[in-house]
Amino acid sequence: MLPEQTWPVLNQRAGNAHWPPENPREASSFIDAANRHGLLPLLFEQQSDLPEAVREALVSWRAMLRALQLRAAAQTQAIEKLSAVLSTIPFVLQKGSDYRFTLYPRPELRPMQDIDILLPTSLLEEAEELLTAGGIRRQQARGITERLPDHYERTYVLDEKILLEVHHRFAQPIRCRIDYAAMFSRAVPLQAVNARRLGDADSLIQHVFNMASDEFNSPLGRFVDLWLLLRARPSALEEATALAREWQVQRPLYGALSLASRIFPDIRIPPDLLTKRERRFLDERILPDPRLPHPEAGRARHLWQKFWLIDRAWRRAGFAAVHAIAVARGLLSRP
């Protein structure tokens, strides 16, 4: 189910010079990278096709695989509980919470850190009341801007162990003009659980925007998600390209496709997505190489990348101003 380039690129991300790993140390480094990049269950799934050194080293990771399987089962139960608690709220599952049911043969093959949902801003307070009544408590905000009441996400804890992130938008409104009402109108029911997912093109926009929010310093598993999205929903790219232009998120879409095409050559980039000058600037100055280990970067570098992954100059200036104001408000709101 995966392209042949997946494991050699992961091996590079592990810091190994050659594929396949040539000794137990390199094999262990490769498997550790698979775990960190969200690909360990898939590695076990394809172990019969792997080099002998990797198969032998995988034996000591069976306990981790079992832990991931148990966590996946607990997350599925949590999603079912969430569906019951929010039965009157039209929410959609996002990211891994969606993909594990729609892109992967079994949920446990797609590990995820938390459950992500999206709901209309107008229903945010009603959802909080229902979650509280259902015994799902809100987690104290960690960052300065996260403490603000209009922040784009809120974090809760289900059953004392599973995080739930409730989004009412993807980021600050100044960064783009995504039509969330249109997104909700196109959401479709999921077969596996009592919830909905975004439409195909909207899901692709959400995915690339989320990757751009992390400045594309993404685990390899996110690129595998993207490859599967494009393969499973071939008409989504053309529709998403039109939406990206309308919603002013062409740079996130181009960035994701450009980086993914370096890993998986069969991924195509629409020719009318950005100018040649913009493409060259992003490729040479902003986008990290997804095939290599990513060095630690400071906050200033992350903000620099985030700044240039915004489509319009006035939006970039607005983002800088809004971010500074939000930090000041957060500092002033400290008890």
Average pLDDT of the residues in 162-187: 94
Average pLDDT of the residues in 292-309: 83
H helix runs in 187-298, sequence order = 200-213, 220-232, 236-247, 250-263, 276-281
Q: How far apart are the C-alpha atoms of 44 and 55, rounded to whole Å?
A: 9
Do residues 264 and 3 make contact, with C-beta atoms less than 8 angstroms apart? yes
Beta strand spans in the chain (E)? 92-93, 115-118, 137-138, 153-158, 162-167, 188-189, 196-197
* Model confidence pLDDT, tens digit, residues 32-67: 999 999 999 999 999 999 999 999 999 999 999 999
| CATH fold group of domain 65-322 | Beta Polymerase; domain 2 (3.30.460)
For the chain, the C-alpha Rg in angstroms (whole number) is 20
Longest dimension (CA), the chain: 58
In the chain, list all ranges with CATH 3.30.460.40.
65-322
Q: How far apart are the first and last CA of the chain?
A: 51
> How large is the average pLDDT for residues 200-224?
96
Q: Identify the bridge partners of residue 189 per DSSP, sorted by sequence position.
A: 196
| Residue-level pLDDT at 32 | 97
For 114-157, the pLDDT digits (tens) are: 999 999 999 999 999 999 999 999 987 666 555 566 678 999 99
Beta bridge partners of residue 115, listed in sequence order: 164
pLDDT of residue 299: 77
